[in-house]
Structure 1
Amino acid sequence: MLFAVVVEASSQVGATRSRKAKTAALAAVLAEAGPDEVRPVTAWLAGDMLQGRTGIGWRTLSGLSVEPAVEPSLSVVDVDAALDRLAALAGSGAGVGARRTAELEALLGAATADEGRFLVRLLGGELRQGALEGLMLEAVASAADVPGDAVRRAFMLSGRLPETATVALTGDDPVAELGAIGLEVMRPLRPMLASPGDSLEAALAELGAPDGDPGVVVEHKLDGARIQVHRSGDEVRVWSRTLHEITSSVPEIVALVSELPVETVVLDGETLAVAEDGRPRPFQESMKGLGNGAMRPWFFDCLHRDGTDLVDEPLETRRRELAEVVGDRLIPGVVRPTPEQAADAVAEALAAGQEGSMVKALDSTYTAGRRGRSWQKVKPAHTLDLVVLACEWGSGRRRGWLSNIHLGARGADGEFVMIGKTFKGMTDETLRWQTETFPQYETHRDSYTVYLRPEIVVEIELDGVQTSTRYPGGVALRFARVVRYRDDKPAAEADTLETVKGLRPM
């Protein structure tokens, strides 16, 4: 396959807001890809590279001046091999830099102008075209003509989109082969996420059993860092919410899990920094605490225990297994509470300094992402995880600082839609961090505003949402204020426009 086919598909995806049209364009190029082309093509169309970071920054890319090719000749295999060579040229030094520049010039010199622009954006981490994971999974299912649920489950268990696409598109019996992908200890799986709950009462009513059985557990919602921990014999490994391995940064968690009464286990949980009185420290301190031995873990799910996979078991079973494994490291909660007991549990969580509570259906299985509402987070005030689209320069006391942020939610087509602005809740430290950090994500600017790649997630507290024509999303946020920046959360997990609109008064 010519690389130009991939570039054209990317252009089509970026030119439309229709989710159906995006999926069709992606599916068409995936269906055309050969067995050795599916992995790189899938990664590129999702804005990633199989090689991960290559160490090539914008200073290197912007300093290149290469005459583009007139006609397309690069193949997918050619480009993937060139990226392999670039990734192998790690490190610094004049010799390495010269070889890297020569390799880049050779690649871009063989590329047409359109192909070169795509490559520069891909290498620079700026290839954001709405082809998020959910959209790519739909395209894979369409191209392979297999059920979407089979693709999503295989992706959850493998944690790898290109590999999932390869099985679906090249297998002799793709449905069976996708179904054969199971949980592997020491291979992280995609985490299950919670949806915002309207209130404790609403969550209890929605998730409770029809026969009057409460059917839920109400747990503390910790303001910490999500962790996934795997153990096999004497080996323990730990991954973050985004599946980046952090084992070396959390020796205290490794030591704790090494002593648990199991041979193999996969745990889902949260770790946070605590003060001398045992109360949790702010989220940013938990993130900074990774690596200083000051973290304290709690676990809320058990996905595997001693040779038995539990992802398809109801939460009630998983939680029972979890309690037997982790003992007092089980996250505090109350099972099948009365409304009064549930309210007491929420009050207890808040009194302990936690950010709220989780209400979970006891009959729910473990499903990656935020599919359905079987886990709901209940907080004293509404909070949303949104993406920073731009930031305006401040005035008065804030002159010289990047201050007023433009907020975006994920639209149905995967693009981010602006729904408001805020400069409230920002400390001097926040302003300093924004001013230092945001230019690293800059796409362009004018005299008032710096526009950013939609990658930075911020947690926003608000009093409500109202219909408005002021912003493209058709809604506006009431009294929005910054709570924290979510270093642990990718933009693909930001709240959707549909979720935001759901907070409007009926």
Structure 2
Amino acid sequence: MMHAFAALLDSLIYTRSRNAKLKLIADYLHATPDPDRGWAMAALTGDLDLPAVKPALIRALMESRVDPVLFRMSREYVGDTAETVALLWPTPDQPVEAEPLTITNAVERLRHLSRSDAPAALAAMLDRLDAEERFALLKMATGSLRIGVSARLAKTAFAQAFGLDVEAVEEVWHGIHPPYPTLFAWGQGTGEQPTPQDVPVFRPFMLAHPLEDLRVDLSDYAAEWKWDGIRVQIVHIAGETRLYSRTGDDVTGSFPEVASAFSTPGVVDGELLVKGQFQGGAAGSEDYGGGGAASFNALQQRLGRKQVSGKMLEEYPAFVRLYDILLDGTEDLRALPWTERRARLEAFMPQLDPERFDLSQVIEADSFTELEAIRAGARDAAIEGMMLKRRDSPYVTGRRAGLWYKWKRDPLTADCVMMYAQRGNGRRSSYYSDYTFGCWTEQGELLPVGKAYQGITDEELRELDRFVRNNTLNRFGPVREVDKTLVLEIAFDSIHTSTRHKSGVAMRFPRIARIRTDKPAAEADRIDTLRRLVT
């Protein structure tokens, strides 16, 4: 029933303990019948897709039922659209006579609707539910739960609920579709364990810890460049090829030229990049072992496109720089040490199209001090830093201490002026925590160059929230324009030209490094200074 799922979400929101969250989900899965629990798991793991229901539809539906101004003001105060709608949705004049709504009823109805039919169907469901159930339905329908439960935690809860190995669950998860009848049958002992032998399933990635202040012995660790693309896994099984992102999303359709070029049975791990020329500094990415990689800004032109035009394929051709090999044919290599997998990958490479695949080179250095000097000299558009991999490390899921480290290059910084602020989401919904900032033109005009909400402590968040409330000049819906007097030091990984922004530049991964109350706004950086950093 929707009521049970709503109670689960409510409990998860107010539970901080990881173990308590695991137990809540496990108890729900045991108490809930198929296929409701399968659709609930799809919602918790982000695998539920209801394309007819979009946030804009929900807003329009709500504004047709209540005063639009009241709704927008309430949404600004609450900080969450689903919660606002759940609380404000008007009670029907006549009670709705109907059976209690189940998750399966809702999903099966909504997933087969056209966008023109969806508003009436969704409104009819909301009329049947109480506030808690409306909240659950809307969260589920939009795929944005924000309840402090990651996909990995939900799968761990599933595994613990039925006494399964979570790695075995992860292994086949992306090859089985909601509501996962074969998974639940396996868990309850009424069905066989699903296997990835005949399906190109996703294998969870091995991840790295930040290096921070640690120094390692290069006799134990190998170093590679950390490229600034998107991590992908390429699987070819039973004549079918798929590309998966780090989160397990199938991105095959966005990069058809890569998929069609990989026809050798096996599974490899690498960085998907776009070919191009490095535009900044004295050296290009060819000086860092491989060459030909453009900045992430170029790759963004390809991301999220379900249909890729011939012009797009020509202007932004994709390729993959390979890091590791998980399966060679049907032979699983993940238990082998990195040195042996590296040798197998090098032997695997000649079978691949060199136009679409190359090998991430190992950085040669006699000492960690020499490696530091090499890293300090790298400012390539496509390089984020270095990876340090223990030579005897197997390929294991997630982050394991001491095996792999990521050593990002030092960020660039700029002093910018806060211009606008907006409330955050979740636990930050009561604070103005999202800040738009700008730099000066030569004519003295302040133009936006980025937006950030990361990097500040809770105390700094409260300080900035007070500044916004005490220095508001204008309000534009949920956005406040503030007096242009506060300087923020912004750290960012790189900066690129952008036709979408009036300033002509866009930052990559901006975050707030510190609040510069010591610096007058007139002394903040100029846009010309940022343009000289463009890669």
With normalisation by structure 1, the TM-score equals 0.66
1:311 equivalent to 2:334? Answer yes
Structure 1, unmatched stretches of 5+, are 209-213, 412-416, 436-456, 465-482, 484-506
CA distance in 2, matches of 1:104, 1:62: 12
1:407 equivalent to 2:475? Answer no
The code of the aligned residue for 1:159 comes to H
Q: Alignment partner for residue 84 of structure 1, among 105, 108, 112?
A: 108
Q: Alignment partner for residue 359 of structure 1, among 378, 382, 388?
A: 388
User: Aligned residue for 1:15?
Assistant: 14
| Contact 2:241/2:262 (<8 A) preserved | yes
Structure 2, unmatched stretches of 5+, are 66-89, 278-283, 285-290, 413-423, 465-487, 515-529, 531-535
Q: Alignment partner for residue 56 of structure 1, among 37, 54, 57?
A: 54
1:265 equivalent to 2:266? Answer yes
| Contact 2:2/2:101 (<8 A) preserved | yes
| Contact 2:272/2:319 (<8 A) preserved | yes
3-state secondary structure, aligned to 1:324: helix
- Cα deviation, 1:7-50, whole Å, max 9, x if unaligned, reads 0111111123333333332222122122433211222345x463
1:283 equivalent to 2:288? Answer no
The code of the aligned residue for 1:31 comes to H
Change (3 A) 1:174 1:14: same
CA distance in 1, matches of 2:169, 2:463: 37
User: Aligned residue for 1:195?
Assistant: 209
Q: Alpha-carbon deviation of 1:432?
A: 6.3
> Looking at CA atoms only, which structure, 1 or 2, has the larger radius of gyration?
2
| Contact 1:38/1:166 (<8 A) preserved | no
Change (3 A) 1:188 1:169: closer
Q: Alpha-carbon deviation of 1:184?
A: 5.5
Change (3 A) 1:322 1:72: farther
3-state secondary structure, aligned to 2:346: helix
Q: Alpha-carbon deviation of 1:375?
A: 1.4
How many residues are matched?
410
3-state secondary structure, aligned to 2:324: strand
Change (3 A) 1:192 1:54: farther
CA distance in 2, matches of 1:246, 1:172: 29
Change (3 A) 1:301 1:313: same
Change (3 A) 1:166 1:88: closer
| Contact 1:158/1:181 (<8 A) preserved | no
| Contact 1:316/1:363 (<8 A) preserved | yes
1:424 equivalent to 2:490? Answer yes
Tell me the percent identity: 22
Change (3 A) 1:380 1:433: same
The code of the aligned residue for 1:379 comes to K
Q: Alpha-carbon deviation of 1:241?
A: 2.8
The code of the aligned residue for 2:111 comes to A
The code of the aligned residue for 1:407 comes to Q
- Cα deviation, 1:120-142, whole Å, max 9, x if unaligned, reads 23323442111112332343244
Change (3 A) 1:52 1:160: farther
| Contact 1:275/1:281 (<8 A) preserved | yes
| Contact 1:158/1:164 (<8 A) preserved | no
CA distance in 1, matches of 2:175, 2:508: 26
Change (3 A) 1:15 1:223: same
User: Aligned residue for 2:408?
Assistant: 379
User: Aligned residue for 1:391?
Assistant: 434
| Contact 1:73/1:110 (<8 A) preserved | no
Q: Alpha-carbon deviation of 1:272?
A: 1.8
CA distance in 1, matches of 2:449, 2:513: 24
| Contact 2:438/2:449 (<8 A) preserved | no
Q: Alpha-carbon deviation of 1:460?
A: 4.9
1:459 equivalent to 2:509? Answer yes
| Contact 1:270/1:298 (<8 A) preserved | yes
The code of the aligned residue for 1:54 comes to A
| Contact 1:156/1:367 (<8 A) preserved | no
Q: Alpha-carbon deviation of 1:298?
A: 0.8
CA distance in 1, matches of 2:456, 2:161: 28
| Contact 1:42/1:161 (<8 A) preserved | no
Q: Alpha-carbon deviation of 1:269?
A: 0.7
Alignment RMSD:
4.5
The code of the aligned residue for 1:296 comes to F
Q: Alpha-carbon deviation of 1:373?
A: 4.1
Greater alpha carbon shift after TM alignment, 400-409 vs 358-367: 400-409
Q: Alpha-carbon deviation of 1:83?
A: 1.9
The code of the aligned residue for 1:392 comes to Y
